Structure 1
Amino acid sequence: MDKPAVVVLFGGRSSEHSISSATAGGVLRAISRDSYRVIPIGITRDGVFVLEDDDPDKFALDTHRLPEVADNGTRILWPEGGGDRALRVRRADGSISDLGAVDVVLPILHGVHGEDGTVQGFLDTLEIPYAGGGVLDSALCMDKHFMKIVLQSAGIPVSPWVTVTRSGWARDPESVRTDAAALGLPMFVKPARAGSSVGVSKVAELGDLDSALEIAFAEDEKVLIEEAIVGREIEVAILEGRGGAGSRASLPGEIVLTTREFYDFEGKYLGGGGADVVCPADLTEAEIARVQELGIRSFDAVDGRGLARVDFFLAADTLYVNELNTMPGFTPISMFPKCWIASGMTYAELISELIETAMERAAN
């Protein structure tokens, strides 16, 4: 047990459970066993922490059967706090096994109850180091309404929007329709606190707004209606600086739509086609520099930690920030890893970078 013990934490209670599980398959396949002792811990859809098999194939992304964490009868017994990092597991037969001290947690969780600062706060309370975003940046970027407000205050362009609550919609739907109409068509309707394009609709006619809102409200009590920016979809990957250095930006990538209206869940994960993930994007040196500079400014504006993917719309001469993801898609074919691979870092090296950054931060 001389190697650092890394808990790979995945699954969770959000609608992105399967995507997190698929990400775990990629991470478990690539993480260096020569450098780390790996402890896979899954969270079931009911929020139960279980000890999982160290088997990447179990969580492979299959378009016909999305992976998930099942309750196998084990129960993770987290450290008791006060500097203790001893991790244990209660087996299905009631026996308790010692898993050793945890050095760092890699929480590859998407959505609420994981990417929103809740798990980060839990680990902070137990004084267990973890990779990725902290409580503040995770919570801010999970809520697209407040993320836009913070970015606006930092002078960063964002697309015009209206925020609607379920109670506000029920109380005065005509005012919502009026405010939405002022944005112009087409528009996007999306849950404020969800990812992977879950619950997102593109509205081309005002008559479709009501149904789009209902789809979004199924995911969240708060919904954004956004002006659709006509332009290229550009994304850049950001990593926290190390050793006192500033944040770093990868080469930008681009989502190139062919037959899809937008980059939806099916296009991202289910092999639906109609959209290509291209990295590096075909941009001029000046455009690359603008994307990288604005990506770093956005990351720093939300007190970013660990990593983030910053998504843009490049329209004419204006670069709009669409959103930040503090735990972006991290499968080997996702944009975040592909951007760093195009920038000279392997997938395995990227995983190690996140772990080492977290341990370095904890040591200071």
Structure 2
Amino acid sequence: MDLSQLAFRTGGLERAAHLRTEWETLWPKARILPMWRGRPLVAGTTGKGGTLRLCLVASDHPIAALQTAEPLFLGQDATSPLFAADISGWSPEDTARDGGPGDPGEAQPAPAIGDLPDDARFPDMRGILMGLTAYEGELAATARGIIEWHRSHGFCASCGAKSNVSQAGWRRDCPACGKMHFPRTDPVVIMLITHGNSILMGRSPGWPDRMYSLLAGFMEPGETIESAVAREVAEEVGLQIGPVRIFASQPWPFPASLMIGCAAEALSRDMHVDPVEIEDALWITREDLADVFADTHPVIRRPRSGAIAQVLMKNWLAGTLP
């Protein structure tokens, strides 16, 4: 199975968890990834032959001084410690360009301070999935995931008091009741459901025009991966399935999911779509899926490169699923 096009796959980041209590001593010699409203600072071009890269700056760079929270220690490489700096408090002159975390709009140019490349900018991460190396993708996904966790979990879930950042961003401590809180990841099953020469694709309400993907859903407490796949398929389209196979996983920091890629054969094609769960579902033949990837299908647009759904479908189309 070819996973080379899977974004956010393991890139070999050395997280060096044992150094998280020493971040203040590491900061002066660190390199920093500025993050603005969930977007990493990048430079270069995307596409074939592109030179897209993360912009890592020295800890004394003026852009790092724009952060309003304690820096996040990401790990280290062969040359220096690596941190992320959340500068979401910075407001550009053209604030109409950005709608907040996750907004896929136009890339925001970096602030004109310090020595930065002319094309330094903050793009939405969904648009640069395949432009970064596996290592830089892991770095950016880690930074976004932890920053989003701090943004949405600032108060103790036990007593409601405001919690404090600890362990270089990898823990929040409650000063009132002593409870320690750690970053969360929400497991999501995403499944390639087949029946003969066809796969099942669906769309959620509010998705962009012509956007379809594989069925997916959050796992529930006490569930196995296999049980979650069977339950979600039954809830969304009323189908029963055979044995579940598990292929790959993908961190998906929008905001904090782990996508678990699976496949199973449906026992029939007789669907009963639940309109509360999904808007529409279709059986797509192998020939139709080839048109989808060529972006010539009349109903379904080409899937997003780098996402695990696209990787599963492409391997099924090529006959390379185990």
TM bin, normalised by shorter chain, reads under 0.3
When normalised by structure 1's length, the TM-score is 0.24
More helix by share: 1
When normalised by structure 2's length, the TM-score is 0.26
